[in-house]
């Protein structure tokens, strides 16, 4: 057995196919932690998606997990709302307290995005007060204040 770059390489001389076996140790704890975070996050984000669907007639699930300091966590249960600009128009989003997006509307005109945002606020969801949110792998600035002017 040879250790190469942290991988264990095992070669059996009697192997008629001359196959080399490389053993890659998985960090089981990280895999389990990720799987649990996905499962819990999916339940949490689905609730936010349904709130958006009930108000806007459309709600797409976005993130179910967040990675903080190398560890995976489900998105937070708290709901905040904001509006961001996307390639397809303005998008109303529901995020957790850390700004991780759980659900989004489809891209719409500015006026319609602001109407969805206001309806979400009227339903009891607080405005996300920070300047940007996290969607997929990007940080996007919130623009609801620009739209209200």
What would the pLDDT profile of 82-138 be if each residue is shown by its tens digit? 999 999 999 999 999 999 999 999 999 999 999 999 999 999 999 999 999 999 889
pLDDT tens per residue, range 17-70: 555 544 445 566 666 688 899 999 999 999 999 999 999 999 999 999 998 888
| pTM, to two decimals | 0.79
Does any domain span residue 84? yes
For residue 19, being part of any structural domain is answered with: no
Mean pLDDT of the chain: 85
Q: In terms of residue numbers, what domain contains 122?
A: 43-148
Contacts of 43 (CB under 8 A, 6+ apart): none
Please work out, in degrees rounded to the nearest 5, the angle formed at the alpha carbon of residue 36 by the alpha carbons of 101 and 25.
Answer: 115
Structure tokens at 134: 């996290």
| In a domain? residue 18 | no
């Amino acid at each position: 057995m040879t250790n190469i770059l942290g991988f264990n390489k095992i070669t059996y001389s009697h192997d008629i196919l001359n196959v080399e076996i490389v053993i890659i140790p998985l960090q089981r704890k990280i895999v389990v932690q990720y799987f649990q975070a996905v499962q819990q996050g999916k339940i949490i984000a689905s609730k936010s998606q349904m709130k958006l669907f009930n108000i806007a007639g459309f709600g797409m699930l976005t993130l179910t997990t967040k990675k903080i300091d190398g560890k995976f966590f489900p998105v937070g249960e708290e709901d905040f709302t904001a509006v961001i600009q996307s390639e397809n128009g303005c998008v109303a989003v529901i995020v957790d307290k850390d700004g991780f997006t759980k659900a989004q509307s489809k891209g719409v005109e500015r006026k319609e995005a602001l109407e969805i945002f206001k309806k979400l606020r009227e339903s009891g969801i607080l405005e996300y007060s920070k300047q940007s949110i996290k969607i997929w792998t990007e940080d996007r600035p919130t623009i609801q204040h620009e739209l209200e002017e």
